[in-house]
């Protein structure tokens, strides 16, 4: 239901990573993907009888995405928009190539 991303040409598509009670979801910056994520979170909450805390949830997008689109996507999912996660789960979430 969501596009996900590939780390390299031959790698599998990654749509999510689950760590205990922390979840990372990956998709393209489209309205349909964000609507799918919202529906999936609703189904997830009902199936596990848990509430998703949207006040603690954030949306991080590529710097190449237009600000207007970023705000629209954050509103669809119902989360705050952040520029960048420096570290998530003690791992660097946005990496640059270092030689």
Mean pLDDT within 79-94: 63
When divided into structural domains, the chain yields a total of 1
Instruction: State the number of CA atoms in the 13 A half-sphere of 93 facing the CB.
Output: 17
Is the predicted pLDDT of residue 63 greater than 90, yes or no?
Answer: no
Quote the pLDDT of residue 47.
92
Residue 99 lies in a domain: no
Cα–Cα distance measured from residue 40 to residue 48, given in angstroms and rounded to the nearest whole number: 12
Stated pTM of the model: 0.70
Beta-carbon count within 10 A of 79 CB? 22
- H/E stretch holding 16 reads strand 16-19
Nearest to 35, CA basis, from 63, 88, 76, 80: 76
Task: Please give the average per-residue pLDDT across 34-47, as a whole number.
Answer: 90
User: What is the Cα–Cα distance from 36 to 58, expressed in whole angstroms?
Assistant: 16
**Residue 98 belongs to some domain of the structure:** no
Within-domain flag for 53: yes
Give mean pLDDT, residues 9-34: 86
Determine, yes or no, domain membership for 97. no
Whether 57 maps to a domain, the answer reads: yes
């Amino acid at each position: 239901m969501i596009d996900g991303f590939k780390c390299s040409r031959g790698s599998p598509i990654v749509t999510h990573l689950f760590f205990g009670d922390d979840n990372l979801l990956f998709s393209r910056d489209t309205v349909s993907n964000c609507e799918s994520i919202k529906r999936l979170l609703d189904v997830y909450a009902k199936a596990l009888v848990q509430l998703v805390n949207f006040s603690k949830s954030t949306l991080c997008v590529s710097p190449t995405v237009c600000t207007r689109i970023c705000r629209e996507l954050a509103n669809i999912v119902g989360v705050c928009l952040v520029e960048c996660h420096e570290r998530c789960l003690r791992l660097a979430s946005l990496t640059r190539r270092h030689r």
